[in-house]
Amino acid sequence: MPQVSSKPRTARSRRGFSLVEFMIASTISATLLAATMSALDTSYKSYKVATESASLNMSARLAMHRITTLIRNGEEFGPFPTNPIAEPRIETDTLELVAFHDSDSDLREVWTIRLVPATLDETNRGLGPNKLEADVTRFDDSGELASFTQPLVYRVTDARFLLEYDVGPTLRRATVDLTVGERQDRDDGLMSDLEAPQIRMVSSVRPRRINPT
């Protein structure tokens, strides 16, 4: 029959974690968890900024393409400079033009593109501070047929039109200067929230010359 040792276990075999060891282990675990969460948060914000920047870029490009196409194909532009002979250029935040003219029915479509403040609801949805929109009016000999407002692009910081006229006055060239995105005035380094940068686009276009036959 085997003999059961009655020798008591040593203190080392019964020893567990001390309070200091437990605190050290907890501190290391908390530090690693905080670092992991910070890395995930930065990765998420970077993805969000990249996505928002791409969306802003696409919106600005589409708006710029539409405006330049309207200028290239339009006629009867405005506003005019006070003295087109002495000062043929004017800088404005409004552009007026006839986008469509049917000479047979005298149907005309007049566009007034202007920079206006975003509504409170649009601002709350992150579409502020301003927007570029067009007031479109269609009319013929009998009078106004339809009128509506069409937004072109949101989150506009600034929009300028530099119009250069010849004697007539006939628009010779138009330069569109469009800036979208939030203005970043903070300088907090890496601690600041990541935000999509501003996107500025400048394009010059000449209207097509329609020679009478």
Q: What is the pLDDT of residues 34-65, one digit of tens each?
A: 888 888 877 777 777 788 888 889 999 999 99
**Residue indicated by tokens 């020798």:** 7
Report which secondary-structure segment, H or E, holds 135: strand 130-140
- Identify the band that residue 22 occupies on the pLDDT scale cut at 50, 70 and 90: confident
**Residue indicated by tokens 């530099």:** 162
Cα-flanking dihedrals φ and ψ of residue 32, to 5°? -65, -40
Q: How large is the average pLDDT for residues 127-154?
A: 90
| Structure token pair of residue 63 | 């708006």
CA distance 29 to 37: 12
Residue, of 19 and 74, whose pLDDT is higher: 74
Looking at every residue in the chain, the average pLDDT score rounds to 82
pLDDT per residue as tens digits for the range 99-127? 988 888 889 999 999 999 999 999 888 88
Q: Supply the pLDDT for residue 97.
A: 94
